[in-house]
Amino acid sequence: MGVRDGLLPGRIVLVNGGSQGVGAAIARAAVREGAVVAVTGRRTEPGEALVAEPAGAGGKAMFVRADLADADRARSAVAEVVDGFGRIDCLVNSAGLTSRGTLLDTTPELFDAHIAINLRGPFFAMQAAVADMVARKAPGTIVDVITSSAHGGRPFLAPYAAAKAGLMGLTRNAAHAHRWDRIRINGLNIGWTANRLGQPDEIADFVVFLLSDRSGVVTGSVIDWDQNVLGALD
């Protein structure tokens, strides 16, 4: 994988949940567009293998082992990136828990797990990243990877839909709060990605575009990245 100037030249990008799946695709796309990338994950081996790719191509990368269900760890992971690279320019919240539960069978423990990973972790990671940007009076960009289920979702995804709907609201709230700080915050409601409805590499390219200056002044947008048209019926 080669490193070149592109949409994110020299930007310091942290991808939470970036050691596998969509997050890993985003990390690779950011590197291809010239970024210096850090990724978080709970498992060391895939995370270190991923960051070895840009390092081997002459780029820089960092793996931060972190369970983002821990709010303090979500914040300290950002601090490690700032300590390692001097700042953070872009944040992607891609970590997610998708375990199933309906309204009737979801336990408090399962509900809390979804809130911790899908909402609380992104909240406090954003808090730490925005604090660094504001302290430096520097612009920045954030993309929250959400889900089309945030609009309601299937019955067996009740706690997942609830937590991700909260993240959708947070994305818009934070974007409004920090628009005059030149910090742009957007979200992507993705559909299923293991079939042809959407491929991780395609999602990654779109996330990189939102992180970059090419997306202009766009902030507070939550984009439905899916083939389904919300509210349309046959």
160 as an active site residue: the answer is yes
Contact 33, 6 (CB under 8 A): yes
Q: How far apart are CA 109 and CA 172, in angstroms?
A: 28
Q: Say which of 124, 160, 206, 225 is annotated catalytic.
A: 160
DSSP the chain: -----SSSTT-EEEEETTTSHHHHHHHHHHHHTT-EEEEEES-HHHHHHHHHHHHHTT--EEEEE--TTSHHHHHHHHHHHHHHHS---EEEE-------B-TTT--HHHHHHHHIIIIIHHHHHHHHHHHHHHHHT--EEEEEE--GGGGS--TTBHHHHHHHHHHHHHHHHHHHHTGGGTEEEEEEEE---SSTT--HHHHHHHHHHHHSGGGTT--S-EEEESSS-TT---
Q: What are phi and psi of 24, to 5 degrees?
A: -65, -40
Q: How far apart are CA 168 and CA 23, in angstroms?
A: 18
Pair of tokens at residue 136: 């430096």
Residues catalogued as catalytic: 160
